[in-house]
Amino acid sequence: MDQFEPKTRLKVLIADDSQAFLSFLSRFLSDEYDVRTARNGLECMEILPVFNPEILLVDLLMPEMGGLEVIEEVRGRKNDQALYIIVLTGEDASDSKSRALNMGANDYLTKPFDKQELLARVRVAGRQVLLYDRLNEAYGKIKDEMRLVSHLQALLLPRAIPEIPGLHIEHWYHPSTQSSGDYYDYIDMGDGLVRLAVADVSGHGARAAFLMAIVRTMLRESARRRMPLDQTFTAMNVHLCEILETESDYVTLFAADLDTRSQTMSYLNAGHCPGLIAVSPGEIDLLTPQSPPLGFFPLDFPLKNVRLKNRLELFLFTDGFYEWDIAPGTQLGLDRFLEMASGLMRSGDFSLSKLNEQLTNFIGRRPAYRDDLTALQVNWSSGV
């Protein structure tokens, strides 16, 4: 069987106000197709949802409802883009043809026409319908696979906040598609030590999700072995360089080891957004990158250390929070976003929900985010 040969007869609906024309076309096409007829546009619209044809032959000039109105109803109000519409009409004016095609007709044939040419065009329509069905079937399978990827990816995210006195963690995770290149984690390493991480894999879809899983696996395994962050980043970078080689993918990663017993925090930032940290009320510092992103070439990772003063407020995020348009051609930008976030932290009223509220109030509507959104808000106090 040819790949475009249907398993069952395709259905054709013919709408025309001439009974003689309807009878002729019905007899002519019924050898290959399941044919129904309608005497005007209103009857055509009544038959369409019941008969569910794949191909519609429609005249432009009909009583009660013309062909252009039928096309507008099908393509516009009902948003049916699958039905293949062939206009058959005595109107040969170029503006009528342009209007019909611009409104969504697939083909246009002027009466009188050669019946073999009509049959050929209907067969072309049939092949297009079957190709559309094949594409929809393939797209459905892809969506099912991506739903599975999304489900598995969700299982890789942390489920329980480490039970450390005085520690409070909130997260924000909103993928822009079914699967995400963003990743966050908080890992209890024992003895009051917790590893925190936010990462962003370039791109979207299954490829980014696959690389995200590698980052998560290596970060978790290094935490299980209590491997220092600089050694963890080195091993991860070597592994990603081996996998990606000449590919353009990369990973930005911010990770920190918070030691609540010694009141210290060590951290590394490989090409990621700067974190915001406050160890004293009202004093906000930026934790900027010390190295380029992972996956390009060999790197050294100079570990940074912060001495805590009985408290910590830490905010980590991905670039989806500021790479969106506040006006056509104008993005919010990192500087404006940092100003908003640091202002909230200085006020002592910072929360992820308050930040979202401020972003909404800034433009008077909910931001049209285009990228994945991931954030961690970490608070710790020794007095709790």
Instruction: Give the pLDDT confidence score for residue 5 in this predicted structure.
Output: 59
Instruction: Give the pLDDT confidence score for residue 349 in this predicted structure.
Output: 86
From 85, 119, 147, the end of a domain falls on: 147
Domain match, 104 and 200 both:
no
The phi and psi torsions of 221 (rounded to 5 degrees) equal: -65, -40
CATH number at residue 294: 3.60.40.10
Domain match, 137 and 218 both:
no
Contact 383, 308 (CB under 8 A): no
CATH number at residue 84: 3.40.50.2300
Domain match, 169 and 94 both:
no
Chain centroid to Cα 233, Å, comes to: 29
Quote the pTM value: 0.70
Domain match, 133 and 233 both:
no
Instruction: Give the pLDDT confidence score for residue 384 in this predicted structure.
Output: 56
Domain match, 108 and 171 both:
no
CA pair distance 268, 106, nearest whole angstrom: 57
pLDDT along the chain (384 residues), means of 10: 64 95 94 95 95 96 92 92 92 79 93 90 93 83 71 79 94 77 93 96 82 92 96 96 90 97 97 95 92 94 94 96 91 95 92 93 88 92 77
Domain match, 106 and 160 both:
no
What are the angstrom distances between the C-alpha of 284 and each of 80, 262, 337? 54, 21, 14
Helix (H, G, I), strand (E, B) or coil at 262: coil
Contact 58, 87 (CB under 8 A): yes
CA pair distance 19, 206, nearest whole angstrom: 55
Instruction: Give the pLDDT confidence score for residue 1 in this predicted structure.
Output: 45
**Into how many domains does the chain fold?**
2
From 147, 180, 200, the end of a domain falls on: 147
Domain match, 104 and 232 both:
no
Closest Cα to residue 249, out of 317, 202, 283?
Answer: 202
Instruction: Give the pLDDT confidence score for residue 4 in this predicted structure.
Output: 53
Instruction: Give the pLDDT confidence score for residue 175 in this predicted structure.
Output: 79
Instruction: State the residue range of the domain holding 365.
Output: 156-381
Domain match, 187 and 325 both:
yes
From 91, 115, 147, the end of a domain falls on: 147
